[in-house]
Chains A and B, each alone.
Chain A
Amino acid sequence: DGGITQSPKYLFRKEGQNVTLSCEQNLNHDAMYWYRQDPGQGLRLIYYSQIVNDFQKGDIAEGYSVSREKKESFPLTVTSAQKNPTAFYLCASSTGSGSDTQYFGPGTRLTVL
């Protein structure tokens, strides 16, 4: 089945620790995105990547880092510099054309203890 997978589904982190969220897609999409969603709010863009070995900051990139070494994979690291990391993290992909549809993975719910 083609789609986007994210792991883990739930993640607990102690303050001061870095954690990495996985996102993999087998849709042969060029573009990939990371969003954050807080309760009762819409999605906010953290980082996006249009092509392998290239990525750009979104609207709320501070405290996060990404890599895009393979077309299929776009992992997100939440660093200790992120002041309020508890949230629902969603990865998406698209073909990469200017106005195309984004398809989402099932999300990772991160809680900082």
Chain B
Amino acid sequence: RKEVEQDPGPFNVPEGATVAFNCTYSNSASQSFFWYRQDCRKEPKLLMSVYSSGNEDGRFTAQLNRASQYISLLIRDSKLSDSATYLCVVNSGLFRGTNAGKSTFGDGTTLTVKP
């Protein structure tokens, strides 16, 4: 089983739709959680961090459920420009006694928003 697993996708939705992605992780000691967005042939860019209390940034809402070890991302009123691959990232805390955080990336879920 992979440490971080995402919905396989792809998701093809019309403009204006609401779409949700889920991500599960296996390490219960994981400390921090992120969603990144990656456009085709580009580098990943931070979309938002994920907190237990949930957090919202405009049309995007992220939730963390530590008990069930899953993270979600909700996109409301989808735009054409939201088309991208969304990567779930889980930081498992310390690298073997160092202070650097070890981030594990999911394989990503591809979203295509159509007119």
Contacts and interface: CB of A to CB of B under 8 A. Distances in A.
B72 interface: no
* Chain A: interface size category: 20 to 34
A90 B43 contact: yes
A105 to B, nearest CB: 6
Interface stretch (A65-73, A75-83, A92-100): A92-100
Interface in B96-110: 96, 98-103, 105-108
Q: Determine chain B's interface SS by DSSP, over half rule.
A: strand
Interface of B: 4, 31-32, 34, 41-46, 49, 87, 91, 93-96, 98-103, 105-108
19 contacts: A41-B107, A41-B108, A43-B87, A50-B95, A56-B95, A94-B100, A97-B101, A98-B93, A98-B94, A98-B100, A99-B31, A99-B32, A99-B93, A101-B34, A102-B103, A104-B43, A107-B42, A107-B43, A109-B41
